[in-house]
Structure 1
Amino acid sequence: MRVNALLADGAGSVYLTTHDGLRPHLHFAPDGQDLQSRVRAVTAGSLAVFTLEAEGERLGVCALDSCRTAFVDTSRGGRRAYCRARCANTEAVRRHRTKRG
């Protein structure tokens, strides 16, 4: 699974912590790491947590062949097929033109 590879690369030392009056929470990188490494670690960790919570159902790849961008489906029904409205419109225009012949 690609999420595991991102975790291995970016978030090698996940740990539970409490500080500054905050509730217990996860840290995905040591405090001393540079900003780029910390962002990579938090992004990988957040993607893993989201994948667990959504049971893998809310991650998608744009259905437009020329795009293929990965996205998180935040729609109410969870049936989104395109990463953005522009891609959906491009595909709708293509289908319309194909029908008209």
Structure 2
Amino acid sequence: MQFNHDNMSGVRVAEALVNMLDGGAGDAGALGDLLAGHLFHNPEVGAAEEALLRDWTTRLRTVFESDSEEDRCATVNALLEQGVKRVFLTAHDGLGPHLHFAETCDSLVERVRALTAGGLAIFVTEAAGGRLGTCARDGCRKVFADTSRGGRRAYCSARCGNADAVMRYRKRGRPAGSR
């Protein structure tokens, strides 16, 4: 399956927010830096915005944790209902036509909600309901959007996959005859 990586910004922001803010990590400065890195205009984050985005992030996590296509669609629909006021097509800054889910005059929190809800909706549509998940390594709570060719990703990173493989190997014990 080929993904249009130009349409990936919303799902990537959702993924980054969940991975940064889960469990109380991150602060307003780091959150502002994350949003600036994803090209948000005026990403100044105060205490009120941080609290609202932490709450939103908890809701975003449920999309990645959904066990069924039906549940994931319902969860994304709830995010769309709260996060997106209108959708429109635009072309600017040398970019080809693309969708916007918020106005530039909307608050930072409104823009983050709109982009992440809309981005997740697009990704779930393109991925036929799947390809979002949580890391399979015990103790890791990171989430991911699987854009691999085979669509069988189980870990947030190669590092977690390798660490899990080492743990499984050690649990099995060493093969006979090895030192």
TM-score (norm 2): 0.48
Check the 8 A contact 1:16/1:24 in 2, yes or no. no
Q: What is the number of residues matched between the two proteins?
A: 100
Separation (CA, whole Å) in 2 of partners of 1:60 and 1:51:
12
Query: Judging changes above 3 Å, is the alpha-carbon distance between structure 1 residues 98 and 18 closer, same or farther for their aligned structure 2 residues?
Result: closer
Structure 1 runs not aligned, ≥5 long: none
- Give the number of the structure whose residues are more often helix, by fraction: 2
TM-score (norm 1): 0.79
Match of 1:52 among 98, 105, 125: 125
Separation (CA, whole Å) in 2 of partners of 1:86 and 1:72:
16
Shift of 1:35: 2.4
The equivalent of 2:27 in structure 1 is none
Is 2:156 the counterpart of 1:90? Answer: no
Separation (CA, whole Å) in 2 of partners of 1:82 and 1:19:
35
Shift of 1:44: 1.3
Separation (CA, whole Å) in 2 of partners of 1:28 and 1:53:
17
* Cα deviation 1:43-92 (Å, max 9, x = unaligned): 21011111101112321221113113221112221111101112112211
Identify which range, 47-56 or 35-44, moves more after superposition. Answer: 35-44
Greater RCO, CA 8 A, separation 6+: 2
- Give the number of the structure whose residues are more often strand, by fraction: 1
Query: Aligned letter for 1:36?
Result: V
Query: Aligned letter for 1:58?
Result: R
SS at match of 2:144: strand
Separation (CA, whole Å) in 2 of partners of 1:5 and 1:16:
20
Query: Judging changes above 3 Å, is the alpha-carbon distance between structure 1 residues 7 and 80 closer, same or farther for their aligned structure 2 residues?
Result: same
- Identity percentage over the alignment? 57
> Moved runs in structure 1, 4+ residues, more than 6 A?
none
The equivalent of 1:15 in structure 2 is 87
* Cα deviation 1:22-52 (Å, max 9, x = unaligned): 7654321233202232122112101111110
RMSD, aligned α-carbons: 2.4
The equivalent of 2:113 in structure 1 is 40
Structure 2 runs not aligned, ≥5 long: 1-73, 175-179
Separation (CA, whole Å) in 2 of partners of 1:52 and 1:16:
18
